[in-house]
A and B are shown apart, each in its own frame.
Chain A
Amino acid sequence: MAEAKPFPLPDVDGPLAPLWQAASQGEFRLPRCQPCGTFDWYPTGECRACHGSDIEWVALSGRGTLFSWAVVKRALHKPLAPIAPYVSAIVVIDEDRKTRFVTRLVDCDPESLHAGMPVEVFFADLGYPAVETGVAAPLFTCRATIERDET
């Protein structure tokens, strides 16, 4: 039998190194044009608004709202099988309504989800909760879940 392909890890020193290195420090950073404040996501190195190149990866609140999601019960891409079932999600960041971040929602009831609901970053191993990958990732969870846990 062929050996299973490994879990698809990002290149933490690659083109999105600042995202992954920030995640390993418990920070959620995305690139933003310093002079005009427009986010450069996905990064092109040239501001979409002012065409400047003074772009910095800034630390964000980690808060956002749910834009859309899918409950992946069966992973068609076989290396993802160890985390299935999982909730794939797109989140709009609170700092900019036009910037959407692809992530995974964890510790939420899929039946309770709706567009626009508040979510918050949750740093955990990329394979959370099923496999240890050794890479910390900005996953997201429902803000209501966190608030419930705190009370």
Chain B
Amino acid sequence: MDQNRCGRVQLAFVAQPGPARLENIKGKVAIVGVGESEHSAASGRDLDDMIFAAIDAALVDAGLKPEQVDGLMFSGQSAGQMTVARFRAHYGLNHDFWESGAGGAFSFAATAPHDAWAAIESGKASVIVNVHGTNWASQNKADEGGPATAHLAEAMKANAEVPFGFIPQPVYFAHVARRHFELYGTRPEQLGAIAVSSRRHANGHPGAVMRDKTLTMEDYLAREPFIDPLRIEDCCLISDGACAYVMTAADRAKDFPRPPVIVEGVGYAGAIEGIHFAMEPEFASTPHRMSAPGAFAMADLSPGDVDVLAVYDPFTIVALMAIEDLGFCPKGEAGRFVEGDRLWFDRGRANGGLPFNTHGGMLSHAYLLGINHVVELVRQLRGEGANQVADAQVAVYGGFSGVDAGTLVMRRG
């Protein structure tokens, strides 16, 4: 993509430490279409092809033609994402577009509706597609890129962390897990409960990369930790694939074929020390603790109202901390909270459960950086889930990137 533009977008959205003050958009934006490419391990597929497959599917789902789209959101911080020029060229269009690099996946899959509303309200766009794709699986196989690339290039990491062996991400989060163990008495089998619950959901989801591979607690505990205390099953997949969702003004949602999903609340917060995780004051927690309160306040809801939760889960320990930092249990108690069938889609809130990552998450569905989580929650709220949560009315996505968190509260329209 255009390097100058990439730089400008990135500079504009460097996470500031602490919670962001966001405009109240409760009830203003609807998600009216979702779409996915096929997700897989390393496939050699072209990133553009996967991105357009996801957009095509989302437009069909929303009953839209490409010429009806006038806004595009993508990640300005990730390589190879959608641009207006490519969108126009692919569909043979020449009309004006509003665009934003503060979309895509990670925390921005949660906050995109906030920025979309600003564009809709000011008349710059009316139908906005947010899209993200990745070919990290293929890149990783070719030893070309992947999640560690940016970290290896950062001056402090290169001079004060990498030489000691503090790289890549599984090493950081093994330290986080260990600290959580030491502070709160969290145990490996509690991380295992997240891995096993996620896999169970993937086994029931036809789109999940791990749909055919089972994982029991016995399997989990029998595996030797490779970056102790983390096992391979504590780490997310690396995948090829893409997802997209379509946003418009909530008062137009009735014009679309599928049941609408209404955005009720959005929150966002930056980590205090940014990319230098080792110095983060609250080391065994996530910025969800600063992002979630604003989102729930905007929605006028609380964690107790949530029927289905999806969190960005690069590691089991991040998902475990997200559950407590989002407020679903007191800080430090998520280890006990997630045990047994608590997270299973079919236990449900009425029975004391918390249906969690019902598609399998990044641990077992696909490493689509969280935008796949939003797609799954939209399907849950429409009643179309492969692992459907009974009478799902309210859903929350907890997005994360290591340096920030975004919270998205949605309800069935």
Chain B residue nearest in CB terms to A135: B163
Q: How far is the CB of B98 from chain A (nearest CB, A)?
A: 36
**B182 on interface, CB distance cutoff 8 Å:** yes
A80, B155: Cβ atoms closer than 8 Å? no
On chain B, the residues within 8 Å of A100 by CB distance are: 278-279
Q: Does B20 contact A (CB under 8 A)?
A: no
Chain B residues within an 8 Å CB radius of A67: 179, 283
Q: How far is the CA of A11 from the CA of B230 in the complex (A)?
A: 31
Chain B residues near A83 (CB-CB < 8 A): 165
| Contact among B164, B167, B179, B230 with A104 in the assembled complex (CB-CB below 8 Å) | B164
Min CB distance A139 to B, Å, is: 8
A107 to chain B, nearest CB (A): 15
A90 at the interface (CB under 8 A from B): yes
Is B412 an interface residue, CB under 8 A from the partner? no
Q: Which of A8, A20, A67 has the most CB of B within 10 A?
A: A8
What B residues does A72 contact at CB under 8 A?
Answer: 165, 171, 174, 227-228
Query: What is the minimal beta-carbon distance from B137 to any residue of chain A, in angstroms?
Result: 15
- Which of B162, B164, B226 is most buried by chain A, counting CB atoms within 10 A of its CB? B164
Q: Which bucket holds chain B's interface residue count?
A: 35 or more
Among A80, A104, A135, A137, find the residue whose CB has the most chain B CB atoms closer than 10 A: A80
A10/B158 contact (C-beta < 8 A), A70-B178, A73-B227, A137-B164 known:
yes
Contact of B163 with A8 in the complex, beta carbons under 8 Å: yes
- For B176, what are the chain A residues with a Cβ–Cβ distance below 8 Å? 68
Contact assessment for A42 and B160 in the assembled complex, using a CB-CB cutoff below 8 Å: yes
Q: Which of A19, A20, A70 contacts B175 (CB 8 A)?
A: A70
Number of A-B contacts (CB under 8 A): 109
Binary CB contact string for chain B from 171 to 213 against chain A (1 if under 8 A, 0 otherwise): 1001110110011000000000000000000000000000000
Chain A interface residue number, banded: 35 or more
Chain A positions 9 through 37: 1 when the CB is less than 8 Å from some CB of chain B, otherwise 0: 11100111001100000000000000000
Q: How far is the CA of A67 from the CA of B228 in the complex (A)?
A: 15
Residues of B145-164 whose CB lies within 8 A of A: 148, 152, 155-156, 158-164
Interface check A51, CB cutoff 8 A: no
With contacts A42-B279, A88-B175, A110-B228 known, is A14 near B163, CB below 8 A?
Answer: no
B225 interface contact, C-beta 8 A: yes
Interface residues of B in 257-307 (CB under 8 A from A): 276, 278-279, 281, 283
**Residues in A neighbouring B228, C-beta threshold 8 A:** 70-73, 110
Instruction: Name B's A-contacting residues (CB within 8 A).
Output: 148, 152, 155-156, 158-168, 170-171, 174-176, 178-179, 182-183, 224-230, 276, 278-279, 281, 283
Cross-chain pairs A/B with CB under 8 angstroms, 24 sampled: A8-B158, A10-B158, A20-B159, A42-B156, A68-B283, A69-B175, A69-B178, A70-B227, A70-B228, A71-B228, A73-B227, A73-B228, A75-B165, A76-B227, A77-B168, A80-B165, A88-B164, A98-B281, A99-B279, A100-B278, A100-B279, A102-B161, A114-B182, A137-B163
